[in-house]
């Protein structure tokens, strides 16, 4: 046997044994968690056809010969989307909620991120407070915030905007702080040596470096918030969600599919636009 072959085989045996043990542990954990969560394959098998049935029910009964007839005629597209204008308005409201919440959340995240970035934070205490409060804001799901705000401010978009904004602040604040921690600190020394205070040093030495990254993260968050805003209406916090909840619980089958199609179309459209914008910003940032 070649020199080293024995060592190689020993190392391989060891690696395989480690992989096997890891797989067994993983399998065991999966089984236990399945039992705890009462996952049963029988229920799954019984339920699956019902999902198919539901989708079959919400499908529109379209007829080729009447496809482009008016909204009074059964089987036409116009009949399927007979409330398209109302839903469109609700979708615009949803997008507005997402945009406002992202804007407000990004603005407060920006301020908190400078306090929560180890390299520029004024003190260790402030750093800890900022980090922990960002954690608290993003750990609680936005739907929980929404329930609280609906209770406080009543049903409507305001509750939804505030709920998403707080969650966004927590999520973006952490990302922003990490971008800031990776910034080149030489300009920072340059600013301090010129007699600038901390705020101005953040503005001049750090912000120009990190801005493209921050904008890109904020746009990504906008895409996520758009989906969040379409669901948050389930608890009465405004947007298309309220309508979705209504048609599902009243079993207005065809309307469910009509709204789904509109939601998917508009989310996809905005995603595509925002992705293009993001790519343009990051490319401008790296090439220049």
Partner 1 sequence: MLELESLTRRFGAVTAVDHVSLKVPAGQMVGIIGRSGAGKSTLLRMINRLQEPSSGRILFEGQDITALRGAALRDWRTSCAMIFQQFNLVQRLDVLTNVLIGRLNRRRGPLSTLTSMLKLFTAEERAMALAALDRFDLVDQALQRAETLSGGQQQRVAIARALLQEPRIILADEPIASLDPRNSRVVMDALRDVNRRDGITVLCNLHHLDTARQYCDRIVAMQQGRIVFDGPPAALTPARVEEIYGVSEEEFEEQARSVPAGLVAAA
Supply the minimum distance, in Å, between the C-beta of residue 206 and partner 1: 9
Residue 283, interface with partner 1 (CB under 8 A)?
no
How far is residue 19's CA from residue 80's CA, in Å, rounded to a whole number? 54
Per CB under 8 A, 215 contacts partner 1: no
Could you tell me which stretch among 82-90, 113-121, 133-141, 185-193 binds partner 1 (CB under 8 A)? 185-193
Residue 190 is a binding residue for partner 1 (CB under 8 A): yes
Cα separations in angstroms, 160 against 19, 72, 152: 46, 35, 12
In order of 56, 67, 74, 80, 251, the CA distances from 64 in angstroms are 18, 5, 11, 13, 25
**Residue listed under structure tokens 């009462």:** 38
Q: Please tell me whether residue 122 binds partner 1 under the rule CB under 8 A.
A: no
Residue 267 Cβ vs partner 1, minimum distance, rounded to whole Å: 33
Piece in contact with partner 1 (CB under 8 A), picked from 45-53, 142-150, 156-164, 190-198? 190-198
The dihedral of CA 66, 71, 73, 79: what is its sign? positive
Task: Determine what percent of the chain falls in helix, strand and coil, rounding each to the nearest 5.
Answer: 80, 0, 20
Rg (CA), the chain: 26
- DSSP at 283: H
| Between 69 and 192, CB nearer to partner 1 | 192
Tell me how far apart the alpha carbons of residues 54 and 247 are, in angstroms, rounded to a whole number.
13
* Binding residue for partner 1, selected from 194, 265, 269, 273, defined by CB under 8 A: 194
CA distance 74 to 63: 8
Per CB under 8 A, 197 contacts partner 1: yes
Length of the chain: 288
Tell the smallest beta-carbon distance from residue 128 to partner 1 (Å). Answer: 23
121 phi and psi, to 5 degrees? -65, 140
In the complex, least distance from residue 182 CB atom to partner 1, rounded to whole angstroms: 15
Both ends of the chain: CA-CA distance in Å? 57
Over 161-177, what HEC string results?
HHHHHHHHHHHHHHHHH
Contact pick of 86, 189, 275, 283 for partner 1 (by CB under 8 A): 189
Kindly state whether residue 204 participates in binding partner 1, applying the rule CB under 8 A: yes
The piece of 26-34, 77-85, 165-173, 188-196 that touches partner 1 (CB under 8 A) is 188-196
Which residue in 3, 50, 56, 186 binds partner 1 (CB under 8 A)? 186
209 binds partner 1 (CB under 8 A): yes
In the set 143, 166, 205, 247, which binds partner 1 (CB under 8 A)? 205
> Which residue has tokens 């198919």?
52
Q: How far is the CB of 122 from partner 1 (least distance, A)?
A: 12
Q: Does 34 bind partner 1 (CB under 8 A)?
A: no
Query: Is residue 200 a contact point for partner 1 (CB under 8 A)?
Result: yes
Q: 116 and 130 in contact (C-beta within 8 Å)?
A: yes
| 134 is a contact residue toward partner 1 (CB under 8 A) | no
Query: Measured from the CB of residue 37, what is the shortest distance to partner 1 in angstroms?
Result: 50
196 binds partner 1 (CB under 8 A): yes
Q: Using CB under 8 A as the criterion, which residues of the chain lie in contact with partner 1 when the complex forms?
A: 184, 186-187, 189-197, 199-200, 203-205, 208-209, 288
């Amino acid at each position: 046997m070649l020199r080293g072959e024995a060592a190689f085989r020993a190392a391989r045996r060891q690696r395989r044994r480690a992989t096997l043990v890891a797989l067994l542990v993983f399998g065991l954990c999966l089984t236990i968690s399945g039992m705890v969560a009462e996952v049963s394959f029988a229920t799954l098998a019984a339920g699956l056809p019902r999902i198919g049935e539901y989708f079959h029910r919400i499908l529109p009964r379209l007829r080729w010969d009447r496809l482009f007839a008016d909204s009074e005629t059964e089987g036409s597209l116009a009949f399927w989307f007979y409330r398209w204008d109302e839903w469109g308005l609700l979708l615009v409201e949803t997008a507005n909620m997402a945009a406002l919440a992202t804007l407000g959340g990004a603005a407060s995240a920006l301020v908190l991120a400078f306090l929560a970035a180890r390299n520029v934070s004024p003190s260790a205490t402030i750093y800890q407070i900022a980090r922990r409060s960002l954690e608290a804001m993003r750990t609680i799901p936005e739907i929980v915030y929404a329930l609280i705000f609906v209770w406080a401010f009543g049903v409507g978009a305001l509750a939804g905007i505030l709920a998403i904004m707080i969650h966004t602040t927590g999520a973006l604040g952490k990302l922003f702080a990490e971008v800031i921690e990776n910034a080149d600190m030489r300009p920072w020394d340059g600013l301090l040596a010129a007699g600038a205070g901390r705020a101005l040093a953040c503005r001049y030495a750090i912000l120009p470096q990190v801005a493209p990254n921050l904008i890109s993260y904020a746009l990504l968050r906008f895409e996520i918030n758009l989906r969040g805003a379409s669901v948050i209406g389930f608890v009465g916090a405004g947007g298309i969600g309220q309508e979705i909840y209504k048609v599902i619980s009243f079993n207005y089958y065809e309307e469910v599919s009509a709204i789904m199609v509109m939601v998917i179309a508009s989310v996809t459209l905005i995603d595509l636009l925002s992705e293009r914008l993001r790519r343009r910003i990051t490319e401008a940032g790296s090439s220049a």
